[in-house]
A and B are shown apart, each in its own frame.
Chain A
């Protein structure tokens, strides 16, 4: 999706919407900054993390990325702050902090 401009509702009038509001361009959700409604942010403590990857496996939005150093990190552009990663982490290496406290 790189290089594509994110279309918003204001690119459409009732005249140029697709029949049945079908989105013919698949996968364009990756263009959308779904992380902006997050209230809690996951914070990783690398001291506790043993790189098991459970957070990556369980993230329902695929928002956890594998870094070059082997650690996993939430991509805050997409992370909605659900807290599943923190919940499944056996070593309690992820804690959820309210955005306004950061």
Chain B
């Protein structure tokens, strides 16, 4: 039996990490992630969690320490936000390319300048191509569930990739919501002990991190790419097993009132819950509007996404990030590209909003739907639309 407790997103992460019985935590505090390392340090100090807490001097060191811990076969956890994720950027590639299944929770935060500590997906999009499995959470139950799942699937011998769990800074990290916490025995059933067969050990010496000259680098990268894409099967299987034990089932592309929908909103992160209220209203008045929640960001669920949109007229994609000078917001550009080879594909309209913690209200999503459908029909000179910006936005052109 699970127990239902009130937890902020940060503490939901900490509970999942405790129940996952990690061996090593290396993390540098940064707003809005601070409550996660704070709570974990407390758990270690109180003896609630038998782990090594390494107080590092930067995020670069935090990530490096996790790489080292993973190399000896330890279950390692790291957590950060915004600028911190940027600082550890180079080590992210090391972790994924050396196939270390470490887990990191990221409280999404806008990037400086101007200095912001509030929710935004610019940090996530900047590390999009680092070879980490990446999932976005909508609420604190998902935050707990995805963190547990991340260890389970990342450590699977068929996967061996690190996993990032995204939760919006403040909106989830600091907001208290009811969360069902499972029994330890159920967690242990879902998450076996990590058995990493290449763990560094003086009794069985081997080389991790050898250099790759031009005559082998490409082979190494193709092997990584194929393995990464193939890991999707295990990710889905992990969600199925999670559901069978805990009763909550998750999917890479989650549909909300999408049946017979002509217009679908596409979102990641906690804003989807606000958007769903607008979808409810539209459905009540008979409008065929639904929503796609794009949970799995990497590896991109191409097949599932195409299936979900094959009968839709208009996709309205909401980016919480700007790709400066790009052909659209990062999510929108990718989806456009993903749909290009379909024989019948929907019109794609991109919106950018909710930057640096700007609230996106029910009224804003009403506008997004109405304006999105108008642009789909009549077109627009702007490459993407905006919402909630003071002053008429013109000049986003190619």
Contacts from A to B (Cβ < 8 Å): 8-10, 12-15, 17-27
In the assembled complex, how far is the CB of residue B212 from the closest CB belonging to chain A, in whole angstroms? Answer: 7
Q: Are A24 and B198 in contact (CB-based, < 8 A)? A: yes
Q: Are the C-beta atoms of A20 and B160 separated by less than 8 Å?
A: yes
Whether the Cβ atoms of B210 and A21 lie closer than 8 Å is yes
Stretch of B35-43, B173-181, B200-208, B358-366 contacting A (4+ beta carbons < 8 Å)? B200-208
Residue contact B208 to A22, C-beta cutoff 8 Å: yes
Q: Which residues of A lie under 8 Å from residue B208 when comparing CB positions? A: 20, 22
A22 to B99, CA, bound (A): 10
Judged by a CB distance under 8 angstroms, whether B98 is at the interface is yes
| Chain B proximity of A61: nearest CB distance (Å) | 16
Task: Using CB atoms, name the residue of chain A closest to B218.
Answer: A14
Question: Are the CB atoms of B206 and A14 closer together than 8 Å?
Answer: no
- Judged by a CB distance under 8 angstroms, whether B213 is at the interface is yes
Complex Cα spacing A12 to B223, Å: 11
Other A-B pairs beyond A14-B222, A19-B198, 12, CB < 8 Å: A12-B216, A12-B219, A13-B219, A14-B226, A17-B216, A19-B227, A20-B97, A20-B99, A21-B98, A23-B207, A26-B206, A26-B207
Provide 23 A-B residue pairs closer than 8 Å at the C-beta atoms, listed in order of the A residue.
Answer: A8-B215, A9-B213, A9-B216, A12-B216, A14-B219, A14-B220, A14-B222, A17-B219, A19-B99, A20-B99, A20-B160, A20-B198, A21-B98, A21-B210, A21-B212, A22-B198, A22-B206, A22-B208, A23-B206, A23-B207, A23-B210, A25-B206, A27-B205
Contacts of A12 in B (CB 8 A): 216, 219
Select the residue from B97, B98, B210, B223 with max chain A CB neighbours within 10 A: B223
B100 CB within 8 Å of chain A: yes
Which listed residue, A10, A13, A19, A22, touches B207 by the CB 8 Å rule?
Answer: A22
A26 neighbours in B (Cβ, 8 Å):
205-207
Residues from chain B with a CB closer than 8 A to the CB of A13 are: 219
B100: shortest Cβ distance to chain A, in Å?
7
* Bound-complex Cα distance A12 to B213 (A): 13
Q: Do A20 and B98 touch (CB < 8 A)?
A: yes
Pairwise interchain contact A15-B198, C-beta atoms closer than 8 A: no
Closest to B222 in A: A14
B218 CB contacts on chain A under 8 angstroms: 14
A18: B residues at CB distance < 8 A: 198
Q: Which of A9, A14, A17, A27 contacts B215 (CB 8 A)?
A: A9
Query: How many angstroms between the C-alpha atoms of A13 and B210 in the bound complex?
Result: 17
Using CB atoms, name the residue of chain A closest to B220: A21
By a CB distance below 8 angstroms, the chain A residues around B98 are 20-22
User: How far in angstroms is the closest Cβ of chain B from A88?
Assistant: 28
Which residues of chain A are near B226, meaning CB under 8 Å?
14
Proximity string of chain B (217-246) to chain A, C-beta cutoff 8 Å, 1 when within and 0 when not: 011101100110000000000000000000
9 residue pairs, one from A and one from B, having the closest CB atoms? A20-B99, A26-B205, A23-B207, A9-B215, A9-B216, A14-B219, A14-B222, A14-B223, A20-B98
Q: Closest A-chain residue to B213, C-beta based?
A: A9
Q: How far is the CA of A82 from the CA of B362 in the complex (A)?
A: 68
Q: Nearest CB to that of B99 among chain A residues? A: A20
**A19 and B160 form a contact (CB under 8 A):** yes
Which residues of chain A are within 8 angstroms of B223 by Cβ–Cβ distance? 14-15, 17
Contacts of A22 in B (CB 8 A): 98, 198, 206-208
A99 to chain B minimum Cβ distance, whole angstroms, is 22
Instruction: State in angstroms the CA–CA spacing of A23 and B206 once bound together.
Output: 6
Query: Would you give the shortest CB distance from B215 to chain A, in whole angstroms?
Result: 4
Cα distance A23–B209 in the bound complex, in angstroms: 8
Q: Nearest chain A CB to B229's CB is how many angstroms away?
A: 13
A21 to B99, CA, bound (A): 9
Chain A nearest CB: distance from B289 CB in Å?
45
The minimal Cβ–Cβ distance linking B95 to chain A, given in whole angstroms, is 10
